[in-house]
Chains A and B, each alone.
Chain A
Amino acid sequence: MEKKTEQYDVVIIGGGAAGLTAGIYCGRARLKTLIIEKALVGGLATYTNEIENYPGFPEGETGLGLMELFHKQAKKFGVKFKLTDVRGVQLEGDVKVVETFRTNYECKAVVLASGGKPRLTGSKGEDKYLYDKGISFCATCDAAANTGKTVMVIGSGDAAIEEGMFLTKFASKVIVSVMHEEGKMDCNEIAREEALQNPKMEFKWNTVTEEFKGGERLESVVLKNLKTGELDDVKVDTCFIFIGYLPNTEIFKGIVDMNRAGYLITNEKMETNIPGVYAAGDVRDKWLKQVSTAVGDGAIAGYACEKYIAESEQFENQIMAGDLPGLVFVYNAVDPKARALMPVIEQFEETHAGRVKVTRVDVYKSEGIANRLGISETPCAVCIRDGQKAGTLAENISMESLEKLMGLSLVESK
C-alpha cells in the first residue's frame, strides 16, 4: 500500500485534555490543525468516572462527559481528527513529518501530547493475563462484567481507591493490596476515610504482587507480605492495577530530550529541544498531572505554535526573501541604548529607500527571529543578501558603519 501525504500547519499527537486544548487554540488561530489519537478522544480522563476538581463544573462531571465537551469545542474551530497510532516522527527542520501506517502528515509545528499508559507490576505471569484475560486498567470498562464477583485492586493512590469504591457498586468484594503500613494510603484523605468505612472493601496491608496465576484466564493473585515474606494466594475474578503511569515516548527516544523516566523536558513555553516542537500534558516532566494543568500546558503549546508559524513566515517572506538586500535591526524595546539608535535606522531607511529593505525585530516580544539569525546580543544589525546572512554589526552602529555593512558607497547614497 502506497503512503499518502497530507499537509497541515500543526499536528498534535494525542487527543487528551492537553492535545484538545492545544487544538482549540490552534484552530481558533485559523491554523490547519490535525489531532491524532490512537483510541478514544479524551485520553486518560475518560478512564476516570468522576472529575470533581475541574473548575467550572460545581456538580462534577464524568471524565468521558467532560472530554466530549473539549472534543466538541475543538471541532467547532475546525480541528480535524484522525483516530490511529503514530508510527514515527521526523521533527528536525522546517517541514516536520508525523507518520501513521497509511499516511505521512507534513506540518510546520508539532505538539507532543501523547500522555502515558498504565504502569505494570512486572510480576510473574502478568503478561499472560493483560486486558481481557483478567488484568484490567479501567474500572469503568470492566466493572459491569464483575457484578457479584470478587476483584482485587493493586495500589492506594487516588485512582486506585476511587476506582475501587466504584467497583464496590458491582463486585461483591473488593480486595485492595497496599504496600504501606496499615491505614496508610497514597490517596487523598476524603477517599481514604470513605474507603476504610466501605464494608465491601478489604485491605491487605504491606503487600505487593508476587505472581498472577490461572489457566486461560486469571484465577488468583499471589501477594507477598513485605514484612513477613509470607505468600498469600488470593482467588479473584479480575485484578485492577492502578500503580501509576508511564509516558508514551518510545517513538521520541533519541530525538526529543527526556528525563530518566522518559518524560519530555520543556521550558515554561512548552518548547522542547527542537524548534517548532512542543510538549504538553502528562507526557511532560512536571509536578502535578491533572486535567486542569494539562489544559494550561495545551493553551501555551497551541499559542506557541501560532507564534512559531507566524515567525517562520515572517522570517522567510519578509526577512530572507526579496530582490533587495536586507538590513535587519535586532533590538530590545526596553533597552534605552537600542531606542537611541532608532532615528539612525530611520534615517538609513529613508536615505536608501528602494535600495535596501529595512526590517526591525524586537526581541522583547519574542526571541524567535533573533535565534534564527543566530543573534544573541542586541542591538545588532544584520545584512541579508540573496537569502543568506552576509554580515553582522553589533558595535558602533551609525550611518557610516551601516553603509559599510551593506556595501554602499557614500557617493552612491547621495
Chain B
Amino acid sequence: MAEYTVDCLGEACPVPLMKVQKKMETMAVGDVLVAQIDHSCAMKNIPEWARNQGHNVEIEEVDDGEWEIVIEKTK
C-alpha cells in the first residue's frame, strides 16, 4: 500500500482534478493519493469525482485555504 503525493498548489481548475485522475490510473487498489490543493473549486470537483468512482475520500485542512485531499483507491 503505497502513498503518493501530487502537488497542485497554485493551480486552478480543472488542472488539479486532471492531475489526480492521471495519477490514480497508475496506482494499485489500496494505494493512497494525497493531493495538495489551494484552489477552492478543486475541493468540490476532486472529492465529487473520487466518490463517484467509489473511492474513499477524506480532506485535511493543513492551513488556511490549503488542503490535502486523501484518496484511497478501492478498485
Partner-B contacts on A (CB < 8 A): 38-40, 46-47, 64, 81, 83-85, 100-102, 130-132, 138, 140-142, 144-145
Contact = CB atoms under 8 A, between A and B. Distances in A.
A138 B56 contact: no
Contacts of A144: 12-13
B52 A130 contact: yes
B35 interface: no
Contacts of B61: 81, 83
A39 B43 contact: yes
Interface string B17-53: 1100100000000000000000011011101110110
B41 A38 contact: no
B59 A83 contact: yes
Given A64-B40, A85-B51, A132-B18, A145 B13 contact: yes
Q: Give 6 nearest A-B pairs by CB, closest first.
A: A83-B59, A141-B41, A40-B43, A84-B58, A101-B56, A39-B47
* Interface bracket on B: 20 to 34
A140 B41 contact: yes
B12 A83 contact: no
B43 A101 contact: no
A46 B61 CA distance: 17
Nearest to A64: B40
B59 A141 contact: no
B57 A141 contact: no
A131 B51 contact: no
Nearest to B49: A131
Nearest to B17: A132
B60 to A, nearest CB: 7
Contact of A141 (B13, B18, B51, B58): B13
B37 to A, nearest CB: 11
Contacts of A38: 47, 51, 57
Contacts of B44: 39-40, 46-47, 138, 141
